[in-house]
Chain A
Amino acid sequence: MARITIARAAQETSFYAAVTFFFVLAAFPFYWMVITSFKTDSDLYNVTHVPFWFNDPPTLGHFHYLFEKTLFTTWLMNSLIIGLCVVVITLVTALPAAYSLARMTGRKGESLGIGIFLTYLVPPTLLFLPLSRLISEVGLQNSMWSLVLVYPTFTIPFCTWLLMGFFKSIPPEIEEAAIVDGCSLFGAFVKMALPLSLPGILTAVIFTFTLTLQEFVYALTFISSSDQKPITLGVATDLIRGDIFYWGEIMAGALIASIPVAIAYNLFLDRFISGITGGSVK
Chain B
Amino acid sequence: MAAIAESVSRPTSRFRFILDRRDVLGAIFISPAILYVLLLVGLPFLLSVYFSVSAFTIYNPSWQFVGLDNFNEIVRDPVFRKTLSNTFILTFGSQILGLILGKFGALLLLRPFPGRKFVRAIIILPWAVPVALATVAWQWMFDSLYSVINWTLIALGFITREQAPNWLGSTDLAMLSVIVVNAWRFFPFAIVIFLAGITAIPQDVLDAATVDGAGFWRRNYQIIVPMILPIVAIGLIFGIVFTFTDLSVVFLMTMGGPVDATSVLGYKGFQVGIVSGDVSHGAAISLFMLPVLLVVVIGMLRFIRRREI
Partner-B contacts on A (CB < 8 A): 15-16, 18-19, 22-23, 25-27, 29-30, 32-33, 36, 44-45, 47, 50-52, 92-94, 96-97, 99-101, 103-105, 109, 112, 114, 116, 118-119, 121-134, 149-150, 152-153, 156-157, 160, 181-182, 184-186, 189, 210, 213-214, 216-217, 220-221, 232-233, 235-236, 245, 247, 250-251, 254, 257-258, 261-262, 264-266, 269, 273-274, 276-278, 280-282
Contact = CB atoms under 8 A, between A and B. Distances in A.
Contacts of B40: 131, 134, 149-150, 152-153
A261 B129 contact: yes
The 10 closest A-B pairs by CB, nearest first: A104-B26, A182-B7, A123-B245, A265-B128, A97-B33, A96-B29, A100-B29, A125-B266, A130-B47, A130-B44
Given A93-B36, A129-B51, A156-B36, A266 B124 contact: yes
Given A105-B27, A236-B136, 8 more contacts: A45-B146, A96-B33, A125-B270, A131-B44, A134-B40, A262-B128, A266-B124, A269-B124
Nearest to A36: B140
A277 B196 contact: yes
A262 B133 CA distance: 12
Given A29-B137, A129-B269, A281-B200, A185 B25 contact: yes
Interface residues of B, number: 105
A125 B132 contact: no
Contact of B293 (A45, A121, A124, A182): A121
B128 A184 contact: no
A109 B134 CA distance: 39
A92 B131 CA distance: 28
Contacts of B141: 29, 32
B153 interface: no
Given A121-B300, A130-B51, A273-B193, A232 B130 contact: yes
Given A126-B48, A213-B130, A280 B230 contact: yes
A127 B279 CA distance: 12
B20 interface: yes
B145 to A, nearest CB: 7
B274 A129 contact: yes
A38 to B, nearest CB: 14
B81 to A, nearest CB: 19
B90 to A, nearest CB: 13
Interface of B: 7-8, 10, 16, 19-23, 25-30, 32-34, 36-37, 40-41, 43-45, 47-48, 51, 101, 104-105, 108, 111, 113, 119, 121-138, 140-141, 143, 145-146, 148, 151, 155, 161, 184, 188, 192-193, 196-197, 199-200, 230-231, 234-235, 237-238, 241-242, 244-248, 251-252, 265-266, 269-270, 273-274, 279, 282-283, 286-287, 289-290, 293, 296-297, 300-301, 304, 307
A137 to B, nearest CB: 11
B133 A97 contact: no
A247 B137 CA distance: 9
Contact of B133 (A36, A254, A266, A281): A254
Contacts of A261: 128-130
B33 A116 contact: yes
Contacts of A233: 132
Contacts of A52: 148
A134 B136 contact: no
A129 B48 contact: yes
A92 B32 contact: yes
A33 B197 CA distance: 33
Nearest to A273: B196
B33 A160 contact: yes
Contacts of A122: 41, 45, 293
Contacts of A103: 22, 26
A56 to B, nearest CB: 15
A37 B45 CA distance: 42
B267 to A, nearest CB: 8
Given A153-B36, A185-B19, A221-B274, A23 B146 contact: no
Contact of B125 (A149, A221, A262): A262
6 contacts: A32-B141, A100-B29, A105-B26, A125-B247, A134-B43, A134-B44
Contacts of A247: 140, 143
Contacts of B125: 26-27, 30, 258, 262
Contacts of A278: 234, 304, 307
B283 to A, nearest CB: 5
B19 A186 contact: yes
A275 to B, nearest CB: 11
Contacts of A23: 119, 122-123
A274 B199 CA distance: 13
